[in-house]
């Protein structure tokens, strides 16, 4: 029987992550996602996805050196970046500059060192492009800073607030990996032809660029902007629901109960309560929105999704909407590369059939 879009078709077995939509669970290598966001850094969770275990202190120290020292762009990548037209969007910039790294050293099979190097360079590409367009000097990566802290530092030119680092780090851990989604599938299909890692990641970036997959939480931000002006938030949200409007940031196509990523993000943001107005606003709006949805749409189980709190984080760290999907990409690089490495371990080329319905 034909399955349009391959929905429900199991195309590969994986040890990397499990997305359990019915029970609202997300697992990385056997660890519940909320356990990881409580205790681990971006680097530790990346190590887990790539190496299959939580690093020991000495392993983590060596990994930090490798990861942080891989941030600098090569001269060829910088030349390509300088040559790009100003009107090129950031996802296209990532795809194009990253492809310049695809020299003869990137062949079959992909390696862990390659995965680390490519992932480390994504924030540098984003920040360098942003600063160039704004006419500001480029900011070199600071290897004394963590991955997320360095990203914010390069974007804004100053050390970020600790609460902003913790909030963004939690978001980036939560979005590292999410099963056989469209972009991960693109990466694995490309790798299955025994193409190189750079080509597989460029395929994934091209897929993430599409609005049906890598859509940013811009509409949630619009909702938060509206709500911020209202005195009676519950009444305002009820009016929107009764008018047939959708509350952006609630409901998810995979999770039929609570989105575990939203729960983990909320838990982390509650630790920062009172330190940022946008994070506080999101916490209060969620309570009012859930109550309004239960009143006007009983039985629909429309829970908060990860984009709702992601929007508050992006607003708090003053991230331009054009950088939302690229920031998502900066975290998902870990999952993509982990899947490509797994594909290479026991490779079979993807070759589905099509049914001819023409004349």
Residue 339 designated active-site: no
How far out from the chain centre does Cα 92 lie?
16
- For position 277, what pLDDT does the model report? 81
> CA 62 to CA 327: how far, in whole Å?
25
18 in the Ramachandran plot: left (φ > 0), alpha (ψ -120 to 50) or beta?
A: beta
- 353, with CB counted inside 10 A (0-12, 13-18, 19+), is exposed
> CA 191 to CA 205: how far, in whole Å?
14
Task: Give me the catalytic one of 68, 147, 164, 252.
Answer: 252
Tokens of 303: 């829970």
- For position 21, what pLDDT does the model report? 74
**On the CB side of 115, how many CA atoms lie within 13 Å of its CA?**
24
- For position 123, what pLDDT does the model report? 97
Task: Verify cis geometry, omega within 30 degrees of 0, for the bond prior to 109.
Answer: yes
> CA 304 to CA 179: how far, in whole Å?
20
Residue 307 designated active-site: yes
> CA 102 to CA 108: how far, in whole Å?
12
- For position 74, what pLDDT does the model report? 93
- For position 285, what pLDDT does the model report? 83
> CA 119 to CA 239: how far, in whole Å?
44
Contact 125, 77 (CB under 8 A): yes
- For position 216, what pLDDT does the model report? 59
> CA 334 to CA 183: how far, in whole Å?
12
22's CB contacts (< 8 A; 6+ apart) are 256, 257
Task: Give me the catalytic one of 177, 307, 339, 342.
Answer: 307
Query: pTM for the complete prediction?
Result: 0.89
Q: Where are the CATH 1.10.580.10 domain residues in the chain?
A: 17-214+322-345
199's CB contacts (< 8 A; 6+ apart) are 99, 102, 190
Q: Kindly list the averaged pLDDT for each block of 10 residues, start to end, along the chain of length 359.
A: 72 88 86 91 97 96 94 95 95 95 85 96 97 93 95 94 91 92 94 95 94 70 79 82 79 69 81 77 83 79 78 84 91 97 94 89
According to CATH, the topology of domain 17-214+322-345 is Citrate Synthase; domain 1 (1.10.580)
- For position 86, what pLDDT does the model report? 94
Pick the CATH number of 218-316 from 3.30.1490.20, 3.40.190.10, 3.40.980.10, 1.10.230.10: 1.10.230.10
């Amino acid at each position: 029987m034909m399955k349009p879009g391959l929905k429900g078709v199991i195309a590969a077995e994986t040890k990397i992550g499990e997305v359990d939509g019915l029970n609202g669970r997300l697992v990385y290598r056997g660890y519940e996602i909320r356990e990881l966001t409580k205790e681990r850094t971006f680097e530790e969770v990346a190590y887990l996805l790539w190496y299959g275990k939580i690093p020991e202190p000495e392993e983590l120290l060596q990994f930090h050196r490798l990861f942080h020292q891989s941030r600098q762009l090569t001269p060829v990548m910088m030349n390509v970046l300088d040559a790009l037209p100003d009107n090129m969007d950031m996802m296209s910039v990532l795809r194009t500059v990253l492809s310049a790294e695809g020299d003869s050293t990137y062949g079959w099979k992909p390696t862990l060192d390659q995965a680390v190097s490519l992932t480390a360079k994504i924030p540098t590409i984003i920040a360098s492009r942003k600063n160039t367009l704004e006419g500001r000097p480029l900011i070199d990566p600071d290897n004394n800073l963590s991955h997320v802290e360095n990203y914010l530092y390069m974007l804004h030119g100053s050390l970020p607030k600790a609460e902003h680092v913790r909030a963004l780090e939690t978001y980036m851990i939560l979005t590292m990996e999410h099963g056989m989604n469209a972009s991960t599938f693109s990466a694995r299909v490309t790798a299955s032809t025994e193409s190189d890692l750079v080509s597989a990641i460029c395929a994934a970036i091209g897929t993430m660029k599409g609005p049906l997959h890598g859509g940013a939480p811009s509409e949630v931000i619009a909702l938060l902007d509206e709500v911020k002006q209202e005195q009676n938030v519950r009444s305002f949200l009820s009016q929107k629901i009764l008018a047939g409007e959708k509350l952006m940031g609630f409901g998810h196509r995979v999770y039929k109960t609570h989105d575990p990523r939203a729960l983990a993000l909320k838990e982390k943001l509650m630790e920062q309560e009172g330190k940022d107005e946008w994070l506080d606003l999101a916490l209060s709006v969620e309570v009012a929105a859930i109550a309004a949805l239960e009143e006007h749409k009983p039985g629909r189980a429309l829970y908060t999704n990860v984009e709702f709190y992601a929007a508050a984080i992006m607003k708090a760290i003053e991230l331009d909407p054009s950088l939302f999907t690229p920031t998502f990409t900066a975290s998902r690089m870990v999952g993509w590369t982990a899947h490509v490495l797994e594909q290479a371990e026991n490779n079979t080329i993807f070759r589905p059939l099509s049914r001819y319905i023409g004349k």
